[in-house]
Amino acid sequence: MSEDVTYLIAEEKWTSLIGRFMMDFASIEDCVHRVIKFYVEKTLIKDSQISENFRVRLELFKAVMAECFIDSDTTEFESTIDEIGRLYLTRNLIAHNSLSYAFEEDKDGNMNFMGFTISARKKANVEINFDSFTEEVSKLKQCRTDLAKYMMQFHVAEFQKTYESASQ
């Protein structure tokens, strides 16, 4: 039995986008982890008290980072974090499901092949097509780029605090 060439072509098309998306999301998760780890070391909170739930960690990250930027407007930062939270749904869809054939029923009851999507196995009507996923990849890339800028500000702010404490 040979594989469907149409599927192989679609798989090739999706693979680089999936890789880019997952790498960018892993980079974001690493930033979140590093800031929380830094925060945990400066407080009485233990690692074991930090939730495994990404949304909970993201909110803690947001709070810790907002403290560093207390003198500036955090609207753009918070918007980036909210977008990351929204994109987490796409991350889970991509990470836990596979490429699927997409069909649509026409008015005569015929099933027509529409292309490919990544569809949730456990939730009805949760899917993403290639064009929508391309947009999500672009949005995530922008979030990762913005987050890198905020991380630099975080490190500078923490360096200044450390330097000021040491010189007193």
pLDDT digits (tens, 9 = 90+) for 79-136: 999 999 999 999 999 999 999 888 888 999 999 888 899 999 888 788 999 999 999 9
Cβ count near 14 (within 10 Å):
19
Give residue 36's pLDDT. 86
- When comparing pLDDT for 46 and 5, which is higher? 5
Q: What percent of the chain is modeled with pLDDT above 90?
A: 48
- Residue 156 Cα distances to 97, 148, 150, 163, angstroms: 40, 12, 10, 10
Tell me which residue of 100, 99, 134, 165 sits closest to 20, measured CA to CA. 134
Tell me which residue of 13, 11, 9, 23 sits closest to 134, measured CA to CA. 13
Q: Is the pLDDT of residue 32 over 90?
A: yes
Q: Which of 27-41, 62-76, 91-105 has the lowest mean pLDDT?
A: 62-76
Confidence at 1, pLDDT banded by 50, 70, 90: very low
Q: Is the pLDDT of residue 27 over 80?
A: yes
